Chains A and B, each alone.
Chain A
Amino acid sequence: MEEEREIMEVPPRYPNFEQTAIKEFWDALENEKLITTRCESCGKIEFPPKIICTSCYSDDMEWVDLPLQGKLYSFAEMFAVPSGFNPPITVAVVELENGVRLFGHVINASYDELKVGDDIEITFEEMNWFDYKKHKYFVFKKK
């Protein structure tokens, strides 16, 4: 757009953090733990967590801890952001030690201070959600 960009209003959405098949995931975050599902049949670990394995379609899924260390896979710094966020926000894809990749906010560095491969630590912060409550979610910290 050549005209002035305006703040983007993301339409409200009301996830139910209580009545969900992956309630354990949200509960773990409140306790500053990051978990996801592993298929007990074929061993596939994936994120986001799922109730059925996308590879072998087994429904024998177990919760496992994810490592809280990883490396920066890619990143960007957003200047046009939805309401509820203060620009600019640095966002990243981080690859954990076990190969699982996560998307989230980088809380202690801007674009020019980062490079692919940087060591990242996962921590937890309260974030605004569309239910107008704060919930803890994982964030990235450059080491």
Chain B
Amino acid sequence: MTDVAIVGVGTTKYGKHLDKSGTDLAQMAVREALNDARNITIRDIEGFVLSSQNPEILQKQGNSVNHYSEFLGIGAKYAARVEGACVSGTMGLRTGYLAVKSGMVDTCLVVGVEKCYELPSGSDIMAAFAYVIDRDWEAAFGSNAPMGFAMFATRHMQVYGTTEEQLATISVKNRNFASKNPKAHLQKPITVEDVLNSKPVCKPLKLLDCCPVSDGASAVILARGDIARDYTDTPVYIRGIGQFLVPENVISSLSDLTEFTALKMASQEAYRQAGITADDVDVAETHDCFTIAELLEIEAMGFCEKGEGGRFVEEGQTDLGGKVAVNTGGGLLSRGHPIGATGICQASIITEQLRGDAPKGRQVDGAEIGLSQNLGGWGTSQAVVIYSR
């Protein structure tokens, strides 16, 4: 089967876009992706995948793949809308990847978009997100996103001695990267004290342990490996995509709240497909919706031993110059998290890194192998992508 390459990437600034609709944002991201590639117009692209978590509730808009196709001007002989909560983006990327890999299409546009700041209030937005949690057995008793990750944090702290200070260093590192990313939602540098002194959202997690709610869109153009150089001098190839979904959704049903079990499976599968190990990864974009998530991810993917994540981040091993640079785009914590767009944005940031195009202070010197990791649910639905030039 053919290789699959990324030949164009585009992303809007993430943040509050009060004057833009979801389709406006998607157009902006796709325009940038088309300009990033060459010899290709929207009419040349054969496949279209839309990743969007919640247009039904946020916009009261169904049939979103057709709705977006009109505003993007894309006709497609292969089309799908993909939804899997926060991992929608990478599920969409994998759907597009399979369409090209199978030979069904030569090129495929994958667009991730979420437009949150459209509902009348912050409460309405949070309400829309609460739909992803099991309604009868968990959300009915007040559960929300910070709560599930706080449960992981508490147990990891009590079992392994991980500290709130160690978690805070993750937020500080990612904000530092975001301060050099003009497209990040939050760009003002912060300190460990700022994180520790921010107000509690769900103990032990505080406001600056949590990612913001963002509007935004990201797009990638995928092409068959043998024609990729028609569209760019710097194709970035997808070398493996591992995914794993465990049959656990209610927080009390998770087998182990000190690890992302599904991520161990997904990352091993991705490494196997790419023929690499964790040690080979130079740069990684991971799903740091909360600080504890990034810590669990570096452990599950084998960048450090289980239980050692706190010490690993404290030593700067996930910063530039460390063992593996993590979230050089600012992460969800600072770049923002327009749900369906996140996995696509991660692919665009890794593409930039492997082309050597990231700015000073974010570029990993000589980066050859990149990884993106995206999760849904309580880390119970995981996807990992490996990339190289």
Contacts and interface: CB of A to CB of B under 8 A. Distances in A.
Contacts of B17: none
Interface string B251-266: 1110001000000000
Interface in A68-121: 73-83, 85, 88-89, 91, 93-94, 101-105, 111, 115-116
Nearest to A139: B141
Given A48-B136, A116-B159, A1 B131 contact: no
B135 A54 contact: no
Contact of B144 (A6, A47, A73, A78): A78
Nearest to B131: A11
Contacts of B186: 2
Interface residues of B, number: 47
B39 interface: no
Contacts of A1: 122, 207, 210, 212-213
Contacts of B205: 76
Contacts of A115: 158
A79 B126 CA distance: 14
A70 B186 CA distance: 43
A81 B142 contact: yes
Contacts of B151: 74-76, 91, 93
Interface in B76-133: 121-124, 126-128, 130-131
Contacts of B203: 76-77, 79, 88, 111
A57 interface: no
Contact of B147 (A7, A73, A78, A101): A78
A116 B327 CA distance: 31
B201 interface: yes
A115 B263 CA distance: 27
Given A6-B123, A9-B124, A77-B200, A101 B130 contact: no
A3 interface: yes
B159 A15 contact: no
A133 interface: no
Contact of B123 (A3, A9, A74): A9
Interface string A34-64: 0000000000000110000010000000000
A73 B122 CA distance: 32
A77 B203 CA distance: 5
Chain A interface size band reads 35 or more
B137 interface: yes
A62 B131 CA distance: 31
B123 A73 contact: no
Interface in B135-171: 135-144, 146-147, 150-155, 158-159
A103 B250 contact: yes
A11 B252 contact: no
A129 interface: yes
Nearest to A11: B127
B343 interface: no
A79 B213 contact: no
B289 to A, nearest CB: 13
**Counting chain A CB atoms within 10 Å of each CB, which of B135, B142, B143, B201 scores highest?**
B142
A76 B123 contact: no
A103 B142 CA distance: 11
A48 B127 contact: no
27 contacts: A1-B210, A5-B201, A6-B123, A8-B127, A9-B124, A11-B127, A47-B252, A73-B155, A74-B257, A76-B147, A76-B151, A76-B203, A77-B202, A78-B142, A78-B150, A79-B201, A80-B146, A80-B201, A80-B202, A81-B144, A82-B127, A83-B123, A94-B252, A101-B253, A102-B252, A103-B141, A104-B141
The 10 closest A-B pairs by CB, nearest first: A76-B150, A103-B252, A8-B126, A74-B155, A77-B203, A6-B122, A111-B203, A116-B158, A101-B252, A9-B123
Given A7-B123, A93-B252, A103-B252, 5 more contacts: A1-B122, A93-B251, A94-B252, A103-B137, A111-B203
Interface of A: 1-11, 13, 15, 47-48, 54, 73-83, 85, 88-89, 91, 93-94, 101-105, 111, 115-116, 127, 129-130, 137
